[in-house]
Amino acid sequence: MVEGPGATRNGRKVEQRVLERRIQSIQCISNPKVASVNDQGAWWTGRSLSQVISIGKELFLVFAREGEMQKDEDVAIRLHFGMNGSLEISSSATANKNSDGRNSHKGIPSIMISFTESISSSGNANFNNKTETIIVKAYQTTISGPMNAKIPRTKFTNLSTCDVCNVQFNHHHVLRKIRNSMVGDRIISDALLDQNVLPGSGNIIKIEGLHNARVHPKQMVSSLSDDQLRLAILSCRSYAMKWFKNGSAQQKYVYNQMVCGTCKEAKICMQRVGYSSRTTFWCSICQPFQRNVEINEGQSESPSQVNHNTNNNNQQPIMPNIKALRKVCPCHGPDTLVLRRARNGANASRIFYSCRVKNCTFFAW
């Protein structure tokens, strides 16, 4: 699963290897428009990579014509890596010999861009170990464009301080956006996955961030104090930055687990929650649902000040106005389902549903 840290790392790799290099060719089977050629030639003819912009889970490559001073003429393409996207960079000497860039494990790349030598500030070719062809290939990736570079630049200006992996990150801006962008109200899981609020945050970051902050994923945003919401945001930021720096997701205490890695006692709860219906994991002990919480607008309370009184049987838990999706065995109903873990294959360690009734073949992730 490619979340903000993976997309940002991909952007850094491209920036380090091919910034200021000329485009030699583009192949794009997923979006022929990107590699199209018209009467005036290809849009990328005479252009070099002038800027790499990472925003959340998106990566924009910006290309400028040599000697062109007007940035309004710069063109960009967008890469979104989705669930299983990846990016490879290789030199012509070590590149895959297949003309279509096929990889035996990943198939044909969504886009393949060949870059020649870089351009120095004087406009002359810089032959200082930069004369070889560098090939950038993205697999299982959505490609959009070409587009005016104003689009990603404006987006970066508006969202950079909220990007979970950006050096300009400011949690106060994120908190303000969450408070101000609520349409009626929504659960915290939906708020943290909103790419216009916390770009780069994905399901793993959301789940582990909420667990570290001890916040129930189905808690309404309005029921959380500013201190609780701030802790949830900073926990997501912390987990994302460790992922970014180390190149892989850090220890998962509840995501795809069967027993809580923190308290070592509770079985993990798993359910599709929110309008996005993302599978979410949480610990019922470490992340209790807060009932009957009343937070005045603008009020900031610490978790110890929140009212947890549940003695009144007439009081109902604060729940979002959404229909929870529950797996059901079509033959034996919901009460026969159990959670199991895949032992081998491409889905090793993933948790799935199966029916405990002998010879029943029901299965669902």
Q: In this structure, are residues 266 and 257 in contact, taking their beta carbons and an 8 Å threshold?
A: no
Q: In this structure, are residues 31 and 143 in contact, taking their beta carbons and an 8 Å threshold?
A: yes
What is the pLDDT averaged over residues 68-82?
84
Would you say how long the chain is, in residues?
365
Cα of 141 vs its chain's centroid, Å: 13
> How far apart (Å, rounded) are the C-alpha atoms in residues 192 and 280?
13
pLDDT at 35: 76
pLDDT at 136: 95
Q: How many CB atoms lie within 10 A of CB 327?
A: 17
Quick: pLDDT tens for 325-350: 356 777 777 667 777 777 777 677 67
- Between 337 and 278, the more confident residue is 278
Q: Enumerate residues 6+ apart whose C-beta is below 8 A from 143.
A: 28, 30, 31, 34, 77, 78, 79, 110, 111
Alpha helices (H) in the chain, listed in sequence order: 4-18, 150-159, 171-180, 188-193, 203-213, 226-246
* Three-class secondary structure assignment of 180-233: HCCCCCCEHHHHHHCCCCCCCCCHHHHHHHHHHHCCCCCCEHHHCCHHHHHHHH
CA-to-CA separations, 276 to 105, 147, 180, 239, 318, in angstroms, rounded: 30, 28, 20, 22, 19
Q: In this structure, are residues 141 and 81 in contact, taking their beta carbons and an 8 Å threshold?
A: yes
Q: What is the dihedral of CA 342, 345, 346, 347, to 10 degrees?
A: 0
Q: In this structure, are residues 62 and 53 in contact, taking their beta carbons and an 8 Å threshold?
A: yes
CA-to-CA separations, 142 to 37, 83, 111, 321, 361, in angstroms, rounded: 20, 11, 9, 33, 35
> How far apart (Å, rounded) are the C-alpha atoms in residues 137 and 114?
9
Quick: pLDDT tens for 79-117: 999 888 999 999 875 555 555 556 656 788 999 999 997
- Between 365 and 214, the more confident residue is 214
pLDDT at 96: 53
